């Protein structure tokens, strides 16, 4: 059994503030260590369940957060960007299941540090009329490769948003959101124990899980944070301007949609 673990940071126990998720300060250095340890808990759970190979995808920001020399040596780590499959890079390696660790609520959700892909650029993303966060978008991308999401961890709002998308997944609540930058968290030790047990449980029951599949070409609706960003994104000739901050485009696959969104995210740096 080959497992992909995709790791973000905003859903990690003890993480609440923007300083903790942005490089260049001591708060971030501590948070990236907490992130690495939660990844290790997931790796341990995968091997407890009988995994023969584990890939760990560093899926936050510049994709180079986890401390390679602290990660469980049994796993292989995917870091750095750009990469076409972004937060689920490695799914093309023939994996059997995806686990999402440290994930968060979607843009303008009520979860801790809620956003979708790029908090500066995007106020909301919908596929076929359904608003999705990162778990939904990348779960659907994994689904195009025939791979189900079997486990996910994060705050209570993240879980509530995504339970219906992944009805057979095991969810681990690391904290309760009481605001965008506040919450009630498990201790790091408790969170790691819960993640390890959750991954083991999820992989033991993985035969019940089904990939998240969005059939056919995808109509993507993107709400930008400002009209200036919508101006910028609509330099792409295939984009239709709906209103001041909303645009629409059609993508042949979820993978194509995600790649186009990540191009917009990269473009947005022009206006920072």
| pLDDT tens digit sequence for 14-36 | 999 999 999 999 999 999 999 99
What are the mean pLDDT values of the chain's consecutive 10-residue runs (272 residues total)? 98 97 96 98 98 98 96 98 97 98 97 98 96 98 98 98 98 98 98 98 96 94 98 96 98 97 97 94
Residue 197: predicted pLDDT = 98
Q: What is the pLDDT of residues 150-197, one digit of tens each?
A: 999 999 999 999 999 999 999 999 999 999 999 999 999 999 999 999
Rounded Cα gap, residues 138 and 86, in angstroms: 8
What is the per-residue pLDDT for 38?
Answer: 98
DSSP one-letter code for 19: H
pLDDT at 247: 98
The whole-number pLDDT of residue 200 equals 98
Instruction: Pick the catalytic residue from 60, 104, 115, 168.
Output: 115
Alpha-carbon torsion (134, 140, 144, 147), positive or negative: positive
- Asked if 115 is an active-site residue, the reply is yes
**Within 13 A of 152's CA, how many CA atoms are on the CB side?**
30
Residue partners of 10: CB distance under 8 A and separation at least 6:
21, 60, 102, 103, 104, 112, 113, 114, 115, 154
Q: Which domains does the chain have, with CATH numbers?
A: 2-117+133-208 (3.40.50.10780), 218-271 (no CATH)
Q: Quick one: pLDDT at residue 17?
A: 96
Give CA separation, 170 vs 17, 138, 164, in Å: 26, 17, 12
pLDDT the model gives residue 249? 98
């Amino acid at each position: 059994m080959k497992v992909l673990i995709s790791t973000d940071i905003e859903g990690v126990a003890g993480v609440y503030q923007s300083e903790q998720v942005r490089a260049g300060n001591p708060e971030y250095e501590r948070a990236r260590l907490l992130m690495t340890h939660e990844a290790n808990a997931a790796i341990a759970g995968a091997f407890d369940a009988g995994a023969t190979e584990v890939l760990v995808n560093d899926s936050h920001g510049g994709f180079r957060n986890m401390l390679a020399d602290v990660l469980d040596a049994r796993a292989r780590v995917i870091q750095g960007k750009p990469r076409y499959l972004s937060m689920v890079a490695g799914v093309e390696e023939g994996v059997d299941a995806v686990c999402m660790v440290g994930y968060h609520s979607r843009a303008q959700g009520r979860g801790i540090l809620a956003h979708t892909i790029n908090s500066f650029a995007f106020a909301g993303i919908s596929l076929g009329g359904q608003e999705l966060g990162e778990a939904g978008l990348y779960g659907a991308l994994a689904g195009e490769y025939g791979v189900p999401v079997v486990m996910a961890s994060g705050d209570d709002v993240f879980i509530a948003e995504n339970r219906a998308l992944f009805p057979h997944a095991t969810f681990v609540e690391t904290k309760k959101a009481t605001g965008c930058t506040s919450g009630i968290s498990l201790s790091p030790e408790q969170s790691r124990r819960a993640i390890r047990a959750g991954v083991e449980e999820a992989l033991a029951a993985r035969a019940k899980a089904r990939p998240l599949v969005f059939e056919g070409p995808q109509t993507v609706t993107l709400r930008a944070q400002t009209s200036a960003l919508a101006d910028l994104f609509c330099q792409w000739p295939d984009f239709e301007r709906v209103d001041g901050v909303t645009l629409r485009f059609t993508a042949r696959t979820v993978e194509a949609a995600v790649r186009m969104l990540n191009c917009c995210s990269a473009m947005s740096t022009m206006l920072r």
